[in-house]
Amino acid sequence: MGSLQKRPETRSEGRSVPALDISGVSHSYGERRALDDVSFTVPQGSFTALLGPNGAGKSTLFSLITRLYNTRAGEISILGHKLSQEPGEALRRLGVVFQARTLDLDLSIRQNLAYHAALHGLPGRVARARTEEILRGSDLMKRLGEKARNLSGGQLRRVEVVRAFMHSPELILFDEPTVGLDIGSRAEIVAEVRRLVRQEGVSVLWATHLIDEVEASDRVVVLHKGKVLAEGGVAAIVAEQDAGSIRDAFASLTGLARPDLGNTPPLELQP
């Protein structure tokens, strides 16, 4: 955390309070059950990957955490604040990068960041200083005055990543932020996020169907068909499944060869 702003003192609640606590959450679209009794935590300071193939329920869960949908079954808490009881306290500790792009292409990068900061009550002077603090050492610093529409898809995504950090949230959700980008841009975004996470000490929930985005020191929650199949450190999940890698552990948990290939069975199960 930089020197500009002190984090709000949730620390009185201690490090033992999870950054995110999902408890018994279910959600249905009509007859279709998208989430079925989902429970897991994102401990403070952790990088937790929510790993699941398309249709697993990742975005539905994010819609519940951000209160786009109401949680009818179960409870969600952010840094100990229940969404159902203290939504304002909970949501102001939250930053989000949605699956769909949400920048204004006619504004400059600096204006996009300032607009978001203003929505969160940061004065312009603070927003400018915060922008420099976050972007120190990043090549995006040189492009602040440019209109968003002049940037590539990967660069736009990186601006959205930076924007999510502007109001110094304690928990940030990322919903498949690298989907549709080329390999080089994907690597840049993952690197930018991990750099900022280290620098700012935030807790992260990173939804993905790409196993290669998971690092050995991450926590992983495997979500499949609306159910949590495993939760823990990479090494623990691999050991539990008696597997050689997180990729093999995923295959044995879900019966899918790879989360990015939909319903392809693992090689050893193919005829």
Report whether 224 contacts 52 (CB < 8 A): yes
> Of 154 and 259, which CB lies nearer to ligand ADP in the complex structure?
259
Percent composition of the chain: helix, strand, coil (DSSP 3-state, to 5): 40, 25, 40
What are φ and ψ of residue 52, in 5° steps?
-165, 150
Helices (H), 136-207: 153-165, 183-200
Q: Applying CB under 5 A, which part among 23-31, 53-61, 106-114, 224-232 lies near Mg ion?
A: 53-61
Report whether 104 contacts 112 (CB < 8 A): yes
> Of 35 and 196, which CB lies nearer to ligand ADP in the complex structure?
35
How near is the Cβ of 198 to ligand ADP at its closest, in Å? 27
Report whether 185 contacts 156 (CB < 8 A): no
How near is the Cβ of 35 to ligand ADP at its closest, in Å? 8
46 binds, among ligand ADP, Mg ion, none (CB under 5 to 8 A by kind): none
How near is the Cβ of 209 to Mg ion at its closest, in Å? 9
Cβ neighbour number for residue 225 with a 10 Å cutoff: 15
- Asked if residue 59 binds Mg ion (CB under 5 A), the reply is yes
52 binds, among Mg ion, ligand ADP, none (CB under 5 to 8 A by kind): ligand ADP
- Asked if residue 155 binds Mg ion (CB under 5 A), the reply is no
- Asked if residue 77 binds Mg ion (CB under 5 A), the reply is no
Given the rule CB under 6 A, which residues bind ligand ADP? 29, 32, 34, 52, 54-60
**CA-to-CA distance for 46 and 42, rounded, in angstroms?**
7
| Residues whose CB falls within 8 Å of the CB of residue 268, separated by 6 or more in sequence, listed in order | none
How near is the Cβ of 211 to ligand ADP at its closest, in Å? 15
- Asked if residue 48 binds Mg ion (CB under 5 A), the reply is no
How near is the Cβ of 6 to ligand ADP at its closest, in Å? 35
| Residues whose CB falls within 8 Å of the CB of residue 29, separated by 6 or more in sequence, listed in order | none
Q: Applying CB under 5 A, which part among 12-20, 57-65, 157-165, 186-194 lies near Mg ion?
A: 57-65
How near is the Cβ of 39 to ligand ADP at its closest, in Å? 17
35 has which bridge partners?
A: 27
Q: Applying CB under 5 A, which part among 17-25, 52-60, 104-112, 231-239 lies near Mg ion?
A: 52-60
154 binds, among ligand ADP, Mg ion, none (CB under 5 to 8 A by kind): none
- Counting Cβ atoms within 10 Å, is residue 99 exposed (0-12), middle (13-18) or buried (19+)? middle
Residue numbers at the binding site for Mg ion (CB under 5 A): 58-59
